[in-house]
């Protein structure tokens, strides 16, 4: 397969991927069986591509689509409590035009930011295997390559995304320090470009917006907003964006 030449092309290719047998079976079974409260809805049931402009300066990296969230609606972090939390914070920081994400046609637009994940299919128990993560790595490599001329900061939601991203950054034109930076909420490291025509990249860590974290108060709106604000500022996104 030839590498996608545009972000739109990438998104289309991602949405047709069937490389991981376990995840294909699971995402399609969930889409057939559905949750009772969504019984009347048509589930997406396919890989969920990244969401946001193709010239984003800020990239937000999650883990994987939720079975009855993005696997239902077809758009990252849309239709579940994690998305409610994330988009409220993004809207408050001027990174989204509205604070809610209900379905793919609800008018939500991201402003200077794009959201993606290291695994594009909903996994059982929200736990992709290392092999599935490695299968999906090709898409993250392509996405970072296509964004490389504009992206200046990445906010990683959770340790899984952090571990998945570092080798991709090392291969994609940035110098990752050794020993590797450790994930934590509020972690921040500036990566120098490894090519003369590259740009530095600010890497930030945040606890994931899962209900496990947000319902227990481990991650609060002020905590997430502070990380997003810092990343947006260093990415050169003005407050009026
Ligand atoms: S997880 Fe990634 S590599 Fe695996 S089937 Fe889904 S899109 Fe393809």
Q: List, in order of start, the domains of the chain with CATH numbers.
A: 7-234 (3.40.470.10)
pLDDT above 80: residue 152: yes
Q: How far apart are CA 33 and CA 47, in angstroms?
A: 17
What is this structure's pTM?
0.97
Q: How far is the CA of 138 from the centre of ligand 1 (A)?
A: 9
Residues 6+ apart with CB under 8 A from 159: 183
Give pLDDT, residue 1. Answer: 63
Please indicate whether residue 93, judged by its CB atom, sits closer than 6 Å to ligand 1. Answer: no
Please indicate whether residue 78, judged by its CB atom, sits closer than 6 Å to ligand 1. Answer: no
Q: How far apart are CA 38 and CA 78, in angstroms?
A: 14
**What average pLDDT does the segment 211-228 reach?**
98
């Amino acid at each position: 397969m030839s590498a996608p030449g545009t972000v739109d092309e990438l998104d289309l290719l991602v949405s047709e991927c069937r490389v991981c047998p376990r995840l294909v079976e699971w995402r399609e079974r969930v889409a057939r069986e559905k949750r009772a409260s969504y019984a009347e809805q048509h589930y997406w049931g396919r890989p969920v591509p990244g969401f946001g402009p193709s010239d984003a300066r800020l990239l937000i990296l999650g883990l994987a689509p939720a079975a009855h969230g993005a696997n239902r609606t077809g758009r990252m972090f849309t239709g579940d409590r994690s998305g409610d939390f994330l988009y409220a914070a993004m809207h408050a920081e001027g990174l989204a035009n509205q604070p809610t994400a209900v379905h793919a046609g609800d008018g939500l637009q991201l402003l200077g930011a794009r959201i993606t994940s290291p695994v594009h299919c909903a996994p059982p128990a929200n736990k992709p295997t290392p092999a599935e993560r490695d299968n999906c790595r090709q898409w993250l490599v392509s996405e970072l390559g296509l964004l490389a001329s504009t992206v200046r900061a990445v906010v990683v939601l959770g340790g899984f995304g952090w571990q998945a991203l570092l080798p991709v950054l090392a291969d994609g034109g940035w110098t990752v320090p050794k020993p590797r930076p450790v994930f934590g909420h509020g972690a921040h490291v500036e990566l120098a470009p490894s090519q003369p025509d590259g740009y530095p990249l600010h890497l930030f860590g945040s606890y994931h917006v899962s209900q496990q974290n947000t319902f227990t108060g481990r991650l609060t709106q002020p905590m997430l907003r502070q990380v997003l604000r810092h990343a947006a500022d260093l990415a050169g996104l003005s407050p009026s964006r």
